[in-house]
Structure 1
Amino acid sequence: MTQPAPDTVLPPDAAPSVHAPVAAQDRALLPDALRGFALLGIALINVQDFAGFRMWEQQGLDRAVQVMTDVLFNGKSITLFAMLFGWGAAGLWERHGAALYIRRHLLLLVIGLLHFALLWHGDIIAGYAVGAFIFMLLLRFRATALLRWAWGLYLLGVLNYVAGYGMFSTTPGSRQLFSETFAPGQSYASMLQARLAEVPEQVLSGVWLASITLPLFAFGGWAYRSGLLTRPAEHLPLLRRLLGWGLGLGIPLSLGLAYLNTVDTEQAGLLSEGMRLVSGLPMAFGYVGLFGLAVVQRPGLPALQALSNSGRLALTHYISQSIVLTSIFYPYTFDLRGHVGAAAAVGTALVLALAQIALSRLYLARYGRGPLESLLRWAVYGRR
């Protein structure tokens, strides 16, 4: 039978008749390990927002910690997480078709909006869910076309961030921290009331966020269609190139990001957002190369297994990070927000992330899957 051309549009619904999630024994090690690593980095970066410290004001040990997190994780973890989301979305579409794909992402939209309203204004789940519906337009294309779309949309997103930066102030002291603001001693009830009023705006912001997430989803879709993450042994030359070129480009760019985050001007703040995107992609590719080669050469490495266990609990861990960190920093609990620097805040997040990694194996041995993963599985597939 003649195979279709690489860029031919796929049929809209070539799904199998039996819908079931991937069994634990059939899960690939590499995607889960990368997801666990991304979750660790997300905790270290998001704690800046929870703790409310100004990165450009950090000095001494605090500045050293800020530089380290900028170089290794800032923009990189979220890029990697978004690509893995696209990888999973492409797999869901291919295995089960459009109807189940839509159902799952509608449920994720609800979970994300609840996370936004009840816990934290920086939720990404709802935005990813909105982006997933737009991603459906690209999922009918094969790997080569997906890769072209990914690069094209990524470059447009970069231009969107850096174009017009000269319009912004270069006056020292003009930089702003775009974290949530609270009144002294603000109650949980008043915060909840304010967030509920912002839910429609949060949904619409997911459409804007797609300018960033859509190319990353497309890179993930390409990785799924090419088998890069599920069959890494077949892609050793590519993995080596990703490691070399990714870290070779990403580290210098990340040092530029770290520098921008020491400059107290509005223009530097805007440029740092663009640099997060620019440095995030090559570093994420570098991490894919690093972990991919490790999985091929040393699949039994304890660190890989530990991160893989954590990655299997990604939704539960992501939400629980918000529960713990808001409980520590927000004014209606221990009210430490604005009272600690980068070292103390990142140290707190690191302890939390490492505890999640350590406990994941014990939890999975007893329960098999996380509570939120079980809820989502039941709602999507109708089984526990």
Structure 2
Amino acid sequence: MTAPSSLPPDAVPPEQAGPPASPRGPVRRRAPLPDVLRGVALLGILLVNAQDFAGFREWTQTGADRAVQVLTDVFANGRFISIFAMLFGWGASGLLARQGAGVFLRRHLVLLAVGTLHYVLVWHGDIISLYAVVAFALLFTLRLNVRGLLWLAGGLGVWWLGLGVLEGLAALERGMEAARFSGLPPLDSGETYGAVVTERAVDFLGNLIGGALYNGAWLLALFCLGAAARQAGVLLRPHEHLRLLRGLSVWGLVIGLPLGGLLAWMNTRGDYASGVLSVPVRMGGGLASALGYVGIIGLLTVRERLGPLEAFAASGRVAMSNYLAQSVVMTAVFYPYAGAQFGRWGAAAAVGLALVLALAQLPLSAWWLRRFGTGPLEWLVRRLVYGRTRQGG
């Protein structure tokens, strides 16, 4: 399972600003909902990716480890990567509309370079590079309105999920004997950092192309949903979309939570067919629950009852820096060149460590923003795209 990175827009556009702080002045505050959603999703993504970092197999967990794995599958697995992908589409489409194709292309080429370095030097689960490549398809959606974007997202999503279900049914017909593919990196105990980097450098291009071919339609569908939300102003003006948010909060969870339970059951089984079928169940149920979470947090935002969730806004504003920092810390703990803990921890301990790390990033992000105004990697990306520092991002 890999962690997508939803990256904040280059700068706060006028439409992302909330109402003026004072009727006498032009000072405006950021709309909180996109940042809170991004920060919450960043935490959820890390909880799910603890499995990949730590190297345990879901279907081998027992006792407390199995309980934690089930909770992760029901409430997090596939849910938060869907939020991240939609937010990425939201930000990318806004950048394209505001600043045109030139800046859009430069930014995503820079993201491709950042993602490449992340994959090769730190972690095989990088998603920044894949998002950057698939995002180029958004250039062909510039003239689509909300309805057109929703139709395109629906068509791509149904097609991709349908192919996954058909592949899973075919696997069932062939029998249940084949062992499940874990998806874990091939790390040998005692393997040096140089050897791991060399292997990842050799594998990168093939994995990127394969990922774009396999996941591209689904990711583009999520990007289009985010682009439609931007055009409609759902995240920036949630008070205008109360009926939609209520519907999402109810129906998203009514559909998504049972599918999460089905996913949890599938992840207790070690056969190949269950592994194949779990993919469309994970992503279809994940999208439904993700929309439910967006609806709930959107309603809380309108009612000004975010409470502790407000702390996630700071983490969301420096999502790219936090995402890469998570990879550095988790691989330092688990990978064989830094302590040989890979495959030795169960779900409870690994997810617990991920939770501590993600929560620790909340006050650290707030402190960093007060001192510097933007995250270090966010600053670097803007500098590379524009040739100068942009403030307010």
TM-score, length of structure 1 as denominator length = 0.92
- CA deviation after TM superposition for structure 1 residue 254, in Å: 0.6
Report the 3-state secondary structure (helix = DSSP H, G, I; strand = E; otherwise coil) of the residue aligned with 1:136: helix
Residue of 249, 253, 270 corresponding to 2:255: 249
Query: 2:197 corresponds to which residue?
Result: 192
Q: Given residue 183 of structure 1, which amino acid in structure 2 is its aligned partner?
A: D
Contact 1:330 1:336 in 2 (8 A): yes
The 3-state SS of whatever aligns with 2:12 is coil
Superposed counterparts of 1:307-346, under 5 Å: 307-346=312-351
Report the Cα distance in structure 2 between the residues aligned to 1:275 and 1:361, rounded to whole angstroms.
36
In structure 2, distance between residues paired with 1:229 and 1:188: 42
Shift of 1:206: 4.3
The 2-side partners of 1:58 and 1:105 are apart by 39
- Alpha-carbon distance in 1 for matches of 2:137, 2:197: 29
1:165 CA displacement: 1.9
Residue by residue over 1:146-191, the C-alpha shift from the partner in whole angstroms, topping out at 9 and shown as x without a partner, is 0111111110110121113233354357112111011220000001
The structure 1 segments of at least 4 consecutive aligned residues displaced by more than 6 Å after TM superposition are none
Q: Within 2, Cα distance between the matches of 1:333 and 1:207?
A: 31
Identity of aligned residues (%): 48
Give the corresponding residue for 1:79. Answer: 82
| Distance (Å, rounded) in 2 between the aligned partners of 1:113 and 1:290 | 35
Corresponding position of 2:157:
154
2:242 paired residue number: 236
Match of 1:92 among 91, 95, 100: 95
Offset at 1:381?
2.4
What residue number does 1:67 align with? 70
Q: How well do the aligned residues superpose, as a CA RMSD in angstroms?
A: 1.6
Inter-CA distance 20–251: structure 2 relative to 1 (3 Å threshold) = closer
Alpha-carbon distance in 1 for matches of 2:297, 2:175:
40
Q: TM-score, normalised by structure 2?
A: 0.90
Inter-partner Cα distance in structure 1 for 2:199 and 2:70:
34
Query: For the structure 1 residues 93 and 64, does the alpha-carbon distance in structure 2 shift closer, same or farther, using more than 3 Å as the test?
Result: same
**2:384 match:** 379
* Letter paired with 2:66: R
For 1:192-227, what per-residue CA distance to the aligned partner results, in whole angstroms no more than 9, with x for missing partners? 111111222133134222122000000000000000
Q: Is the 8 A contact 2:156 2:217 kept in 1?
A: yes
Q: CA deviation at 1:138?
A: 1.7
Q: Which residue of 2 aligns with 1:105?
A: 108
What amino acid maps onto 2:338 in structure 1?
T
Distance 2:337 2:71 in 1: 31
- Higher mean alpha-carbon deviation, 206-215 vs 271-280, is at 206-215
Length, aligned pairs only: 365
Q: Distance in 2 between matches of 1:233 and 1:378?
A: 35
Of 11, 35, 52, the residue aligned with 1:21 is 11
Does the CA-based 8 Å contact 1:127-1:205 persist in structure 2? no
